């Protein structure tokens, strides 16, 4: 697990986008795993800039999103498909037929989840997966207690997640209580993972996820088992990391060893 402590949210977004850019340059038909939420907006903003100003090409890419609320149509302003259209898909040249977001109105959720897993497999697996982290340490909607071997499925959201999401809806009654989500096991099969987090509110849970024990109560901690994870945090989110100086030292040594090492923005 590689830890990058960026000076700012903006730099964090540039670092994450740089890794994705290098992946697309290396393999134009990459399969990208995407996340929603406020944290990756900066990353998507930089990817859009790279597409518009530097010609970064998404025309051969395939995408799979982590999750979607059950019951929200793609046109709903709080659906994750709507979010992705607004913040990325409408601004780059990803073919519409290669965009995959869980469908919240699936007639049979079980059959849809099986289909989604098969689509990931048929695409060759996810090359690089972007993740955020919830206040209780969940990745995607794998709430505390989720199996670390779980697959795409319907998940009941915890009270904390529902409360966290309430600010996006006009009343508590409108807040979705269920979501379709990739499982922890599905996520861990991605060839490379980028976990991004910003803000002081994420500092304690990031320390638990990175430096604490591996536990289903903090599903992000399962990333410690993955062979290729890059964690990018701003200074606030990294404030409680006990080994922060060591992580910075490692990064400096690698930059000296290989000035253009893949994964680092200049």
pLDDT tens, position by position, 70-102: 999 999 999 999 999 999 999 999 999 999 999
Q: DSSP string spanning 58-125?
A: -TT-EEEESEEETT--TTSTTSHHHHHHHHTGGGS---GGGEE---TT-S-HHHHHHHHHHHHHHTT-
Average pLDDT over the chain reads 94
Does 155 reside within a domain? yes
| 7: annotated active-site residue | no
Catalytic entry in 68, 127, 143, 234: 143
Q: What is the CATH number of the domain that holds 127?
A: 3.40.50.1360
Contact between 233 and 1 under an 8 Å Cβ cutoff? The reply is no
* Res 265: pLDDT: 46
Contacts for 87-90: CB closer than 8 Å, 24+ residues apart: 87/40, 87/41, 87/44, 87/45, 88/34, 88/44, 88/47, 88/48
pLDDT in tens, 114-125: 999 999 999 999
Q: DSSP string spanning 10-28?
A: HHHHHHHHHHHHHHHHH-T
Does 252 reside within a domain? yes
As a whole number of angstroms, the distance between CA 15 and CA 194 comes to 10
Q: DSSP string spanning 199-260?
A: SGGGHHHHHHHHHS--BTTBGGGGGGG-SSEEEEEETTTTTT-TTHHHHHHHHHHHHHH-TT
As a whole number of angstroms, the distance between CA 111 and CA 151 comes to 13
The reported pTM is: 0.93
Catalytic entry in 136, 164, 189, 211: 136
* Res 260: pLDDT: 54
The mean pLDDT of 236-264, rounded to a whole number, is 81
Catalytic entry in 51, 87, 100, 138: 138
In this prediction, residue 183 has a pLDDT band, given cuts at 50, 70 and 90, of very high
Does 110 reside within a domain? yes
The dihedrals phi and psi of 32, each to the nearest 5 degrees, come to: -105, 130
| Residue 180: CB atoms within 10 Å | 26
Does 98 reside within a domain? yes
Does 90 reside within a domain? yes
Contact between 104 and 70 under an 8 Å Cβ cutoff? The reply is yes
| 143: annotated active-site residue | yes
Domain count across the chain: 1
| 100: annotated active-site residue | no
Residue 61 domain boundaries: 2-257
Does 263 reside within a domain? no
* Res 258: pLDDT: 64
Beta strand pairing status for 178-181 and 67-69? Answer: antiparallel
Minimal CA–CA distance to 60: which of 26, 19, 98? 98
Does 193 reside within a domain? yes
Minimal CA–CA distance to 186: which of 133, 142, 138? 142
Does 262 reside within a domain? no
* Res 171: pLDDT: 86
| 67: annotated active-site residue | yes
As a whole number of angstroms, the distance between CA 125 and CA 114 comes to 15
């Amino acid at each position: 697990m590689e830890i990058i402590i960026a000076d700012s949210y903006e730099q964090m977004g540039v670092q994450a986008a740089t890794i994705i850019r290098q992946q697309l340059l290396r393999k134009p038909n990459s399969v990208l795993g995407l996340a929603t939420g406020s944290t990756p907006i900066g990353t998507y903003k930089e990817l859009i800039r790279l597409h518009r100003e530097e010609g970064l090409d998404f025309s051969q890419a395939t995408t799979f999103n982590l999750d979607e609320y059950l019951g929200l149509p793609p046109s709903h302003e709080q659906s994750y498909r709507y979010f992705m259209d607004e913040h990325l898909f409408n601004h780059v040249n990803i073919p519409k037929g290669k965009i995959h977001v869980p469908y919240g109105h699936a007639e049979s959720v079980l059959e849809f989840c099986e289909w989604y897993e098969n689509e990931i497999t048929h695409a060759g697996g996810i090359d690089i997966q972007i993740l955020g982290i919830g206040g209780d340490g969940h990745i995607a909607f794998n709430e505390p207690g989720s199996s670390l071997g779980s697959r795409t499925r319907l998940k009941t959201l915890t009270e904390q997640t529902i409360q966290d999401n309430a600010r996006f809806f006009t009343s508590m009654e409108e807040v979705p209580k269920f979501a379709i989500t990739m499982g922890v096991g599905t996520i861990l099969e991605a060839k490379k993972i980028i976990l991004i987090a910003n803000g002081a509110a994420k500092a304690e849970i990031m320390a638990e996820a990175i430096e604490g024990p591996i536990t289903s109560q903090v599903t992000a901690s399962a990333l410690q088992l993955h062979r290729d994870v890059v964690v990018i945090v701003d200074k606030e989110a990294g404030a409680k990391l006990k080994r922060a100086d060591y992580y910075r030292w490692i990064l400096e040594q690698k930059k000296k060893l290989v000035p253009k090492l893949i994964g680092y923005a200049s």
